[in-house]
Amino acid sequence: MRDGAAVPSTATMKAVTQEVYGGPDRLTISTVERPVPGPGEVLVAVAAAGLSPGDRAMITGVPYVNRLAAGGLRRPRHTIPGFDCAGIVCATGDAVTGFDVGDRVFGNAPGSLAEYAIASSDQLALIPDSCELTEAAGPIQRASEKVSCMIIQRWKSPPVRSRAIDGNSVAPTCNMV
Question: How far apart are alpha carbons 18 and 23 in whole angstroms?
Answer: 10
State the CATH number of the domain containing residue 82.
Answer: 3.90.180.10
Closest CA to 82 of 104, 114, 116: 114
pLDDT at residue 4 is higher than 60: no
Same domain, 91 and 107: yes
Same domain, 48 and 107: yes
Same domain, 6 and 87: yes
Same domain, 10 and 85: yes
Same domain, 90 and 156: no
Other C-beta atoms lying within 10 Å of the C-beta of residue 97: 8
Same domain, 88 and 130: yes
Total structural domains within the chain:
2
Same domain, 158 and 125: no
pLDDT digits (tens, 9 = 90+) for 22-52: 999 999 999 999 999 999 999 999 999 988 8
pLDDT digits (tens, 9 = 90+) for 157-177: 443 333 344 443 333 333 333
Same domain, 173 and 126: no
Q: What residue numbers bound the domain in which 148 lies?
A: 139-177
pLDDT digits (tens, 9 = 90+) for 50-90: 888 888 888 998 888 878 876 788 888 889 999 999 999 99
| Residue 64 zone, left/alpha/beta (φ > 0; ψ -120 to 50; rest) | alpha
Same domain, 93 and 48: yes
Same domain, 113 and 176: no
**pTM exceeds cut of 0.85:** no
Same domain, 109 and 84: yes
pLDDT digits (tens, 9 = 90+) for 104-123: 999 999 999 999 999 999 99
